[in-house]
Structure 1
Amino acid sequence: MSVLPKDGFLSTILDEWSAETKKSAQKWFSLINELNIAAVAVLPSLELQRSAQKEIVAAALYARALQTFEASVLLTGRGMLADSETLARSVAETAFFLGGLAVINNFLVRMAGANNSHFFKLGYASVELLKRENKSLNPDAAELKQFLDEAKLQGYRENNINLNQLAKEVGMEALYDTVYRQLSGNAAHPSVASSERHIMRGIGGNVENLIFKPQRNGVEKALSVALFAFLSALEAIGVIFKRADIQTTVELYNIRHQALSNELSSRAGQ
């Protein structure tokens, strides 16, 4: 497809492109489809008790990771690789938190403190916004500030969670460096690197055209980073719920993922 139709990536014409792409990367999409079926089946099998706060939060984060993983795969199938990799990065972030719940004592307390810190920052920023927008809103700003000040006096724990440090604590440095950090500049944020996805260069690096169409080159890589991130999240769930069957599943799909990655590298080297 040289150019997109008038309704861009929302066009149903892309369905044919998507079908052809999935056929050309059949092994990768088949692996993901099989994993997804197994991953969805995990959700209703998680045994939750009302008093088990860590497990409840972990199950909710797992649902988030799974849904985001599926969204990443859907976008990859449409050739929207920067967007799919941005979502893969989000899966990695969720995996770090699941890793924290799996191996760090009282990590749920740290999560609560980070949530409180975000709440107060957002609240005080809203106070300043109300003051700037309209002087007639000053009474509302004063009321909100009083509420926040009183809440602070109650001694709510506040802290920030550094993802790089967290990844080291839970043994996910490789996931941080190869997925989260790399995709920060290459996909998630507006940068020189991410803008190159939309620039066609010719001889001497001269700009020839802008690119706004589905991208076939890099589909396998986008699926690979999503797989790596999600399998990390699934592995953490296996530890949290003490599920040996989940650990076995993760090991199996890690082996299959590695085999496909090796095959892809071999083709690229030819």
Structure 2
Amino acid sequence: MTLSRDGFLSTHINALADEALRDYCPGHAALVEQINRFAIALLIVPRDIQQRDADLFAVTLLGRAVQDFEGAVLLGARGLRAQSRAMVRSTFETALYCVAASRDMVLSQGAKIKPKKGESPTTRFVDAFDGGHQRFRGQVAAELRDMPEVPAETEAALDALLDEIGTPGKHQDIDLHGLAEDLGLSNLYTVVYRSLSQDAHPSATSLQHHVEVSAKGKITGLHIGPDYLQYADTLALAACSLLVALDGFVGRFGTPEEQEALPALVKAYRKLHEPLGVQPDSPIATAV
């Protein structure tokens, strides 16, 4: 199916998505549906969070992870290849945060400012998460200091912004790769998050998705329309990412029935990869 001059805003896009989910990789689509239903069922059940900050973060982060996951699926089914894979990357990042909050972790490698040699880690994940974005804070503060004289009204607004984001140098931040190490998921970080980084930005690699190339390797035109290369891989990585979040969440909040049900989804995910040649001991097959 091709799209009209409206491109991906065409009224035909939903029919295209239905066709993709039904025909292109039905096994992946079925697994995505099962995982999504399980996740939604978790979210609608009240949890005994006792107003702990870590628990509040964990529940909210699972909600965000589910929506990131659904966004990746919706984009992928509509042939938005790079955009769907960028959304999978976001799903994985949110999943790591959800696990860390569920465990109320004290960060070692996951903190930007590492403990000194011989010192025990003291930075809780929720504190680093809540007070993060140190680089942004420092950049804004520097720009405010270097800004030429402005009207009093503008100066007051800028001062209010600086008050809102906090003083540079007094907040911890999160090192995502280090956080993956703390969680024992550094291999999966490389396989999922790093492999998708090219699609999260307009890199030279991701731009190859948008050109037509001849058998001789010459660019012959632009590719403007749905792209389903790597579609099954995208759904698999999305499923893997959400399973990471679900594993952490169910380990903290899950009922015995939920804890018993999750391994069946993990088993289905691993089985799905057997025909694709993924080895049983590969990071993507064993990390969840």
TM-score where L is the length of structure 1: 0.84
User: What is the alpha-carbon root mean square deviation over aligned residues?
Assistant: 3.0
Matched position secondary structure for 1:159: coil
Structure 1 letter corresponding to 2:271:
A
Matched position secondary structure for 1:135: coil
Query: Number of residue pairs matched?
Result: 261
Structure 1 letter corresponding to 2:16:
W
Q: Which residue of 1 aligns with 2:126?
A: 111
Is the Cα–Cα contact under 8 Å of residues 200 and 207 in structure 1 kept in the other structure? yes
Structure 2 letter corresponding to 1:173:
S
Consecutive unaligned residues in structure 2, runs of 5 or more: 108-122, 279-288
User: How far is the alpha carbon of 1:96 from its aligned partner?
Assistant: 1.2
Structure 2 letter corresponding to 1:223:
L
**1:133 & 1:191 partners in 2: Cα distance?**
35
Structure 1 letter corresponding to 2:76:
T
Structure 2 letter corresponding to 1:167:
A
**1:80 & 1:120 partners in 2: Cα distance?**
31
User: How far is the alpha carbon of 1:124 from its aligned partner?
Assistant: 6.5
Structure 1 letter corresponding to 2:175:
N
TM-score where L is the length of structure 2: 0.79
Is the Cα–Cα contact under 8 Å of residues 127 and 144 in structure 1 kept in the other structure? no
**1:121 & 1:14 partners in 2: Cα distance?**
38
**2:143 & 2:274 partners in 1: Cα distance?**
54
Q: Which residue of 1 aligns with 2:214?
A: 202
**1:216 & 1:196 partners in 2: Cα distance?**
14
Consecutive unaligned residues in structure 1, runs of 5 or more: none
Q: Which residue of 2 aligns with 1:254?
A: 266
Q: Does 1:238 align with 2:254?
A: no
Is the Cα–Cα contact under 8 Å of residues 175 and 228 in structure 1 kept in the other structure? no
Is the Cα–Cα contact under 8 Å of residues 123 and 148 in structure 1 kept in the other structure? no
Matches within 5 A, 1:1-270: 1=1, 4-24=3-23, 25-103=25-103, 105-106=105-106, 109-118=124-133, 121-122=136-137, 125=140, 128=143, 132=147, 135-137=150-152, 139-140=155-156, 143-144=159-160, 147=163, 152=167, 158-185=171-198, 187-241=199-253, 243-265=255-277
**2:18 & 2:159 partners in 1: Cα distance?**
56
Taking only the aligned residue pairs, the percentage that are identical comes to: 26
Structure 2 letter corresponding to 1:168:
E
Structure 2 letter corresponding to 1:33:
E
More helix by share: 1
- What do the CA deviations read for 1:218-258 (whole angstroms, capped 9, x no partner)? 21111000000000000000122254433433321121112
Structure 2 letter corresponding to 1:246:
E
Q: Which residue of 1 aligns with 2:113?
A: none
User: How far is the alpha carbon of 1:146 from its aligned partner?
Assistant: 8.1
